[in-house]
Amino acid sequence: MSLNIHAALEPEREVETPFPDSTWVVLKFGGRSVATAENWSRIATILRARLDEGLRPVVCHSALAGVSNALIELLETAERGGETADLFAKIVGQHDALAADLGVAAGLTKAYFDIVEQLVAGVRLVGEASAKIHARVLATGELAATALGAAYLKRLGFDVTWLDARELLRSISAEDAKERTALLSARCEFSSDSVLQQRLAATRGIVLTQGFIARNEDGDTVLLGRGGSDTTGSYLASKLDALRLEIWTDVPGFFSADPRTVPSARLIRALHYQEAQEIASAGGGILHPRSISPVRRSGIPLFLR
């Protein structure tokens, strides 16, 4: 089984898949892919194509580009007792500006950022952000971004079911894991999940959810580590016995060398999972290293686009 990489809108290549009768296809979009109205128009085109294929798309996507870093800066500033109002306003303004460009209500994200404002005020008061607070604040980026994305797709006439990823993914408790690692770099079970399959089958149209976040057995928000949205897509594909996983990014895929420094570097059209794992683990930057194991174990094809 190969990990296949090819151009975004060319017809699907015939690849071996363990679930040829599945109609689920999981699509993951990164922060830059969801940060502009122009890109959302492209996403809508992609989703129409998947629906025309007779597939059920499950979309998971990241926070808007730069927002996770801004939320970390917000917490660090609050821990130092610094002024956070301008930075907070900038984060909110980025979402309001995108909402206006998408033609949806800016108020869709207000409840999320009201909570962030309260949490940050508490951090300023005590001078420390616990791992639990850190996870809750960073999760806001994904929750707010997907609220805007779902509203936009509905405005275009798509049937869309927005779901909280924390209700779909449960982190695994490791006895020797430190609390901060368990909360901020969590791992989840990804075996085939008939209950989740039945739950999503009962929904309508496109399922849209968040990357990067999950919940632990105590009900706390946990993060899957920076870049963890790739891993969310892989978890969901494996749990749903998906036909394939598509990870959409701002680069066309793996190259034989860094094309920024080696002009002759060539795009690699197909890789085995193990080869992709080695490149990702060595810091290739295209895929999160944890995102390959779930689809590798399931044998689900992964397309980079």
Distance of CA 76 to the CA centre of its chain: 24
CA distance 210 to 236: 11
Confidence of residue 1 (pLDDT cuts 50, 70, 90): very low
Confidence of residue 283 (pLDDT cuts 50, 70, 90): low
Confidence of residue 14 (pLDDT cuts 50, 70, 90): low
- Provide the token pair at 98: 């995108």
DSSP string, 104-118: S-GGGGHHHHHHHHH
Which range among 23-37, 90-104, 217-231, 285-299 shows the weakest confidence by mean pLDDT? 285-299
Dihedral sign, Cα of residue 274, residue 278, residue 284, residue 285: positive
256 falls within a domain: yes
CA distance 109 to 147: 7
Q: Give the pLDDT score at 133.
A: 98
Q: Give the pLDDT score at 233.
A: 97
For β-strands 302-304 and 56-61, DSSP reports them as: unpaired
124 falls within a domain: no
121 falls within a domain: no
110 falls within a domain: no
For 18, phi and psi rounded to 5 degrees?
Answer: -75, -15
User: Which amino acid makes up residue 149?
Assistant: G
CA distance 59 to 211: 9
Which stretches within 160-257 are classed as H helix? 179-184, 194-201, 229-240
Contacts of 248 (CB under 8 A, 6+ apart): 8, 27, 28, 29, 30, 33, 43, 46, 305
Q: Give the pLDDT score at 45.
A: 98
The sheet carrying 244-248 orders its strands as 160-162, 206-210, 56-61, 24-29, 244-248, 302-304, 2-5, 270-272
On the question of pLDDT at 284 being above 70, the answer is no
The domain of 54 spans: 2-63+146-304
Q: Tell me: the pLDDT tens digits for 115-132?
A: 999 999 999 999 999 999
Q: Give the pLDDT score at 8.
A: 40
Residue 69 burial by Cβ neighbours in a 10 Å radius (0-12, 13-18, 19+):
middle
290 falls within a domain: yes
Match 């616990």 to its residue by tokens. 130
pTM of the model: 0.93
CA distance 198 to 162: 16
Confidence of residue 286 (pLDDT cuts 50, 70, 90): confident
Q: Give the pLDDT score at 53.
A: 96
Contacts of 255 (CB under 8 A, 6+ apart): 265, 266, 267, 268
Q: Give the pLDDT score at 285.
A: 63
286 falls within a domain: yes
Q: What is the dihedral of CA 6, 160, 67, 84, to 10 degrees?
A: 180
- The number of domains in the chain is 1
Residue 131, helix vs strand vs coil: helix
In this structure, what CATH number is given to the domain that contains residue 220? 3.40.1160.10
Q: Give the pLDDT score at 96.
A: 98
- Provide the token pair at 172: 């695994």
133 falls within a domain: no
Q: Tell me: the pLDDT tens digits for 18-44?
A: 999 999 999 999 999 999 999 999 999
On the question of pLDDT at 97 being above 50, the answer is yes
Residues 89-102 have a mean pLDDT of: 98
293 falls within a domain: yes
**Are 88 and 95 within 8 A, CB to CB?**
no
